Amino acid sequence: MVRVRPIRQLGGTPRKPYPKYVWSPAGGWWGQPKQWKRNTLIVGAGITAVMAFVFKKSAELEKRTLYPRVWIPSMIWAKQFKVIVYVDEAAGSDESGHGTKEAPYKTALAAVTLVANMPEEKQETFKIMVKKADSDDYAEITASALKKAKNAHKIAEKKAKKQAEQAAKDQAQQQAKQLEEQRKLEESKQIKLTLDESLPEPKLIRIKDATECRGQRVKVFGWVNRLRVQGKDMMFIVLRDGTGYLQCVLTNRLCHTYDALTLTLDSTVVLYGTVDKLPEGKTAPGGHELTVDYWEVVGKAPGGDDAITNKVNAESDPSIQYQQRHLVIRGDTASAVLKVRSRVMRAFRDHFDSAGYFEVTPPCMVQTQVEGGSTLFSFNYYGEQAYLTQSSQLYLETCLPSMGAVYTMAESYRAEKSHTRRHLSEYTHCEAEIPFISFNDLLDCIENMVKDVVNRVWAEPETRAMIEQLNPGFKPYTEPFVRMRYEEAIKWLNDNGVKHEDGSDYVFGEDIPESPERAMTDKIGKPILLTHFPGPIKAFYMPATKEDPRVTESVDLLMPGVGEIVGGSMRIWDHDDLLAAYKREGLDTAPYYWYLDQRKYGTCPHGGFGLGVERFLAWLLKRFTVRECCLYPRFVDRCQP
């Protein structure tokens, strides 16, 4: 654009009033000086404006100062035409647009808002051009659309004003509240509690003993599990100490102290008071509560951003929960799982003890494999290659001639890079070996063990309550477990439309993956003893059956919701057959000399099994993953804390 405006003729008067502002495409808005004293030539050509001031009556050339610059974005203006604000309903943006043709707004409301924010005397100089979504050209906004946009702007202004007023009011109230809280905190520092020496000497108890101490004055330590303030003169603390939960009531001065006003969850406290039975209609853990007469903070937990509820909660990402596992286990659910685990471990030991088994503790550092070399954790053992054990089975077998039936509850390790919800790299392995039994005897041993352990924990009221809390509706199985051969399972999968991902049928000889195995188990809805797997998909020490050499005397116990929790078999007990199995698998027999000697020095038919305790718990407590069923789970990419 090139625009020349003669402002003053020689010796004459201005033809037109001077414009207050002029526009330069390169420089934006240029504001005029307060006083015009010389004739002016304005040239705009898309670059910085250049002005020459000329012409006195004497024809003397004088240089003058450039006009001061004032930037007003997003429009084009000169006195002779209106400023244009562009709106493109298809390609515009109210957030990043400026109202120019190159960067238009999306809505007329944005354009009207821009105009409304200009000085009142300039608002009439604006024109809004709109390009509809189905049009290629801009057209001036219609009167109805402009009216609608103006009304919307007025409504938005009123709303914004109301919100600003409310925000100011809320801020004032918040400031007043903070000042009041600060005043109360300062006053609370003056309140000091003292033990009442006239009261009976308290008895130190654990929460589980509270029922026996009703009506007595007691002293109890614990952590603040829940906290509730009721009015100015009452506060409820639900205390936990690992043995149970106890509701405690603090009143009057007891809840006016600085420690009371700043108490946080998971702080450690000691409380003195009397255990009272709750009246009819009231509920609390154990059916009683502690009426507190004195208390102290032993260790205060942080609040604010560092509070335990901000570190981890039920909605936290699983990776955060695993990283903060030491805090997660303080929760009601995690602690209940670990308590049931303790009772289940005891129940397994009680079962084996009552059946005449002896417990042994085999080594976890070994130089042999049981389940294949690909899942071994190896390490340097004083210059020799060694591994973390995959199973204690081979060592248990060596105990049969001296101890008879034996079992162990020990950790096993699998370097299996599996991310499924039923795999761990370290897990608790309940294993047993029994001499002089048949394959059917082995199946009975497994079924009886599972049923007996469940019945034992179910018979304990406290453990049963936790099982019902974690798995509502659970009932122990009383019916016989389903017994199904591998070949029958293959037929069931194909008959029920459970196929490979490519739609093909399962065939005899292939391993049944986890997903179809669980689909079958969940649909049948009962525990399944799946037996007689083909030899090539099972371990080297499992013997073939006499009636069908293709399959072995092997078994997996499948439970609804989890899948396999037990794997077992008879063991090859003939010396030559075992040597042939080593040769078939390409294993060096030298490291297994001690295992072969069991077949050399008085062999016998025998069998055994291994149960994953975490999988058993996942089934019993209806947990989504086995990672919830151990203290600090170890799996791929997780070895902390």
In DSSP notation, 570-611 reads E----HHHHHHHHHHHT--SGGGHHHHHHHHTT---EEEEEE
- Contact status, residue 139 vs residue 130, Cβ threshold 8 Å: yes
Say whether pLDDT at 4 is over 90.
Answer: no
pLDDT at position 369, please?
82
pLDDT of residue 82: 66
Residue 362 contacts by C-beta under 8 Å, 6 or more apart in sequence? 389, 392, 395, 396, 408, 410
| Range 600-613 average pLDDT | 95
Residue with more model confidence, 418 or 495: 495
> What per-residue confidence (pLDDT) applies to 372?
65
User: Which residues are CB-contacts of 275 (< 8 A; sequence separation ≥ 6)?
Assistant: 210, 213, 214, 215, 216, 218, 288, 289, 290
Give the rounded distance of the alpha carbon of 16 from its chain centre. 74
Residue 314's pLDDT is 80
Please, what is the Cα angle at 79 between 78 and 85, to 5 degrees?
50
Q: Between 58 and 518, whose confidence is greater?
A: 518
Question: What pLDDT does residue 51 have?
Answer: 35
The reported pLDDT for the residue numbered 54 is: 31
Could you tell me what percent of the chain has a pLDDT over 90? 62
641 prior amide bond cis, ω within 30: yes
Check residues 95 and 56 and name the one with the higher pLDDT: 95
Tens of pLDDT, residue by residue over 142-158, are 888 888 888 988 898 89
Say yes or no to pLDDT of 296 above 60. yes
Work out the average pLDDT over 129-148: 88
The average pLDDT across 100-115 equals 88
Taking CA atoms, 57 is separated from 4, 36, 370, in Å, by 20, 16, 113
Q: Residue 72 pLDDT > 90, yes or no?
A: no
318-336 residue pLDDT tens:
889 999 999 999 999 999 9
CA distance 86 to 130: 6
The confidence score (pLDDT) of residue 123 equals 74
Helix axes 439-458, 332-354, angle to 10 degrees: 130
Predicted TM-score of the model (pTM): 0.74
Q: Stretch 610-622: mean pLDDT, rounded?
A: 96
Contact 87, 129 (CB under 8 A): yes
Q: Name the residue type at position 301.
A: A
Task: Collapse the DSSP code of 428 into the 3-class scheme (helix H, G, I; strand E, B; otherwise coil) and give the result.
Answer: strand
- C-alpha 243/C-alpha 161 separation (Å) is 57
Render pLDDT for 467-484 as a digit per residue (tens, 0 to 9).
999 999 999 999 999 999
Angle 602-605-607 from CA coordinates, rounded to 5°: 125
d(CA 126, CA 83): 4
Kindly state the average pLDDT of the residues 296-316: 90
Token pair for 6: 């003669």
The pLDDT > 70 percentage for the chain reads 87
Dihedral-angle region of residue 563 (phi above 0 means left; psi in -120 to 50 means alpha; beta otherwise): left
Q: Model confidence at 10, in pLDDT bands (50, 70, 90)? A: very low
Structure tokens at 628: 């919830």
Query: What is d(CA 483, CA 477) in angstroms, rounded to the nearest whole number?
Result: 15
Task: State the Cα–Cα distance between residues 289 and 75, nearest whole angstrom.
Answer: 74
Band of the pLDDT at 61, cuts 50, 70, 90?
very low
Q: What is the largest CA-CA distance in the chain?
A: 136
pLDDT over 80 at 36, yes or no: no
Nearest CA among 489, 504, 498 for reference residue 519:
498
Residue 191 pLDDT exceeds 70:
yes
pLDDT of 244 over the 70 cut: yes
Query: Looking at 61-70, 144-153, 205-214, which range is the least confident one?
Result: 61-70
User: How confident is the prediction for the chain on average, in pLDDT?
Assistant: 85
| pLDDT at residue number 226 | 95
pLDDT confidence band for 83 (50 / 70 / 90): confident
Relative orientation angle of helices 332-354 and 461-470, to the nearest 10 degrees? 130
Digit-coded pLDDT (tens) for 343-380: 999 999 999 999 999 999 999 999 988 876 668 899 99
